[in-house]
Amino acid sequence: MKRKSMIGLMIGIGAAAVCGVLLVASLDGVAEWGKPLGAAYEGPEAKPRLVTPAPAPLSPDELATIAVFERASKSVVFIANTAIQRDFWSLDTFEVPQGSGSGFIWNKQGHIVTNFHVIYGANAIKVTLADRNEYQARVVGVDPDHDLAVLQIRAPESSLEPLAIGTSSDLRVGQKVLAIGNPFGLDHTLTTGVVSALGRTIKSMTNRTIEGVIQTDAAINPGNSGGPLLDSAGRLIGVNTQIISPSGAYAGIGFAVPVDTVNRIVPELIKHGKRIRPGLGVSLVPDALARRWGIKGLVIAKVARGGSADRAGLRGVREAGGGRIELGDILVAVEGTPVETVDELLDVLERFKVGDRVKVDVIRDNKRLSVEVMLQAVNS
Which CATH number covers residue 332? 2.30.42.10
DSSP string for 48-78: --PPPPPPPPPPHHHHHHHHHHHHHGGGEEE
- Of the pLDDT bands very low, low, confident and very high (cuts 50, 70, 90), residue 2 is very low
Evaluate whether residue 250 is within a structural domain: yes
33 and 111 share one domain: no
Give residue-wise pLDDT tens across range 277-323.
Answer: 899 999 898 888 888 888 889 999 999 899 999 999 999 888 776 66
Evaluate whether residue 215 is within a structural domain: yes
Identify the pLDDT of residue 327. Answer: 85
How high does pLDDT run on average in the chain? 81
Evaluate whether residue 129 is within a structural domain: yes
Evaluate whether residue 59 is within a structural domain: no
Which residue among 248, 277, 306 closes a domain?
277
272 and 303 share one domain: no
107: nearest Cα among 269, 275, 274:
269
pLDDT, greater one: 378 or 38: 378
Counting the structural domains of the chain, the total is 4
255 and 293 share one domain: no
Identify the pLDDT of residue 137. Answer: 93
Query: How far is it, in rounded angstroms, from Cα 238 to Cα 165?
Result: 9
Identify the pLDDT of residue 247. Answer: 61
140 and 207 share one domain: no
Evaluate whether residue 323 is within a structural domain: yes
294 and 353 share one domain: yes
Evaluate whether residue 84 is within a structural domain: yes
183 and 208 share one domain: yes
252 and 339 share one domain: no
254 and 307 share one domain: no
Q: Calculate mean pLDDT across residues 208-232.
A: 88
Q: What percent of the chain stands above pLDDT 70?
A: 78
Evaluate whether residue 349 is within a structural domain: yes
Which residue among 228, 252, 277 closes a domain?
277
95 and 152 share one domain: yes
Question: Taking a C-beta distance cutoff of 8 angstroms, is the pair 25, 38 a contact?
Answer: no
Question: What are the residue numbers of the active site?
Answer: 117, 147, 225
Give residue-wise pLDDT tens across range 318-341.
Answer: 877 666 778 889 999 999 999 998
294 and 267 share one domain: no
Question: Taking a C-beta distance cutoff of 8 angstroms, is the pair 121, 84 a contact?
Answer: no
180 and 270 share one domain: yes
Q: Calculate mean pLDDT across residues 132-160.
A: 93
Which CATH number covers residue 103? 2.40.10.10
pLDDT, greater one: 19 or 290: 290
Cβ neighbors of 279 (< 8 A, separation 6 or more) are 308, 349, 375, 376, 377, 378
Q: Give the least confident one: 89-98, 200-209, 254-263.
A: 89-98
Identify the pLDDT of residue 103. Answer: 93
| Domain carrying residue 106 | 74-159
Query: How far is it, in rounded angstroms, from Cα 299 to Cα 71?
Result: 52
342: nearest Cα among 282, 264, 294, 292:
282
Evaluate whether residue 294 is within a structural domain: yes
